Structure 1
Amino acid sequence: MAHRLNISGSVLDQAKVNFKEIYDQAGQKSHEAIAGACLYVACRQIGAPRTFKEICAVCTVSKKEIGRCFKWIIKTLEKTVKTISSEDFMMRFCFSLNLTKQVEAVSTKIAKRSVELDLAEGRSPISLAAAAIYMASQTSKTRKTAKEISDVTGVSEVTIHQMYKEMLPHAEELRPKQ
């Protein structure tokens, strides 16, 4: 799984440590679900988070099952993981979309400002990142469609458009001053 996600050795090592700690307590739980959840936890512990959808794409276990194992691991091992934010995903998503560093910087500022203005309340950081990238790319030379962004981020086109529409009335406040 780690190889297919192009995950570094330090994350893989942490995932192995997590798996060894939890394995004896697993009972009837799917070993693949536990391995996927351990990898997800390790990514967050090391500071290189992946989405549940990305983990699910490289294994045969459902997002729901990995989510359950994630919660169980955190509770059982009494682990704490860093809260994820849209900025954690921005560089990787923008790189995958072949966007410039300037568009990435604008996207990051839009996402941060959206949080400050409480426009992202109750929204996933990944959805916020996708909408911020969409907004930033609309004013750049490398304009991306919601479909292109959806393909990279795993956020539906509908969600991207909905968040964009909510952010649009605040565009002047969200975009960085030149």
Structure 2
Amino acid sequence: IHRHLFCRLGLVATIKDRANEIYKKVEDLKSIRGRNQDAILAACLYIACRQEDRPRTVKEICSVANGATKKEIGRAKEFIVKQLEVEMGQSMEMGTIHAGDFLRRFCSTLGMNNTAVKAAQEAVQRSEELDIRRSPISIAAAVIYMITQLSEDKKPLKDISLATGVAEGTIRNSYKDLYPYAARLIPNSYAKEEDLKNLC
């Protein structure tokens, strides 16, 4: 698998080894022929990141995937998992993802200050105690939106969408789900209860 895929995503050698291992297994299967190789490579990397507990979003993988689209990578991932599960005769361990796995990178991309990042991390941890039926990436994006709305450095929804790869409408809906719990999620050191009235 091409070296630049790992370098540009700042990934460690163990992920490179795991991705190569997955690719070699898939390469031996005849059913891979005629499929989009860039999408297959990217999907192997996505799976390796998940298995090594260093998950990346499909959008992040897509940014280094030599033109393969999110849809193509998603399909390739499903194909690889299905093929290898048949081969192994058991379900493939992918590792659980949490909103906190993505939060720091998203905050860094948005140029958020340390105080806001710490508050967002705490809010995300607290969100895990709630039954919010949204993807971890959507929750991370919604928490960032909530935190930045309470600061002087408000981030436009469009910028958060670009940084996280989550559609603006999805962030809005996830934020609506989190909003009733704002007082439980936002650390008191970051915003007092009366400050929460400023949330839209």
Identify whether the pair has TM-score above 0.5, normalized to the shorter chain. yes
1:73 and 2:80 equivalent? Answer: yes
Deviation of 1:126 after TM superposition, in Å, equals 0.8
Stretch of structure 1 that moved more, 37-46 or 67-76: 67-76
Larger Rg: 2
Of 70, 86, 90, which aligns to 2:103? 90
Q: What SS is found at the alignment partner of 1:4?
A: helix
Q: Counterparts of 2:13 and 2:99 in 1: how far apart (Å)?
A: 24
Q: Counterparts of 1:43 and 1:153 in 2: how far apart (Å)?
A: 17
Structural mapping, 1:102-117, within 5 Å? 102-117=115-130
Deviation of 1:153 after TM superposition, in Å, equals 0.6
Deviation of 1:51 after TM superposition, in Å, equals 0.9
Q: Counterparts of 1:63 and 1:3 in 2: how far apart (Å)?
A: 20
Q: What SS is found at the alignment partner of 1:3?
A: helix
Aligned residues: 176
- Write out per-residue CA displacement over residues 122-175 of structure 1, whole angstroms, 9 at most, x where no aligned residue: x22111101101111222343322122111111122222222233222211221
Q: Percent identity?
A: 43
Q: Counterparts of 1:72 and 1:105 in 2: how far apart (Å)?
A: 38
1:4 and 2:11 equivalent? Answer: no
Of 130, 133, 142, which aligns to 1:131? 142
Deviation of 1:32 after TM superposition, in Å, equals 1.5
Deviation of 1:47 after TM superposition, in Å, equals 1.9
Find the counterpart in structure 2 of residue 52 from structure 1: 58
Q: What SS is found at the alignment partner of 1:14?
A: helix
TM-score normalised per structure 2: 0.78
Query: Quick one: which amino acid aligns to residue 176 of structure 2?
Result: K
Unaligned runs of 5+ residues in structure 1 are none
Deviation of 1:46 after TM superposition, in Å, equals 1.8
Unaligned runs of 5+ residues in structure 2 are 86-91, 190-200
Query: Quick one: which amino acid aligns to residue 24 of structure 2?
Result: K
Give the CA RMSD over aligned residues.
Answer: 1.9
Of 19, 33, 58, which aligns to 2:23? 19
- Please identify runs of 4+ aligned residues in structure 1 that moved more than 4 A: none
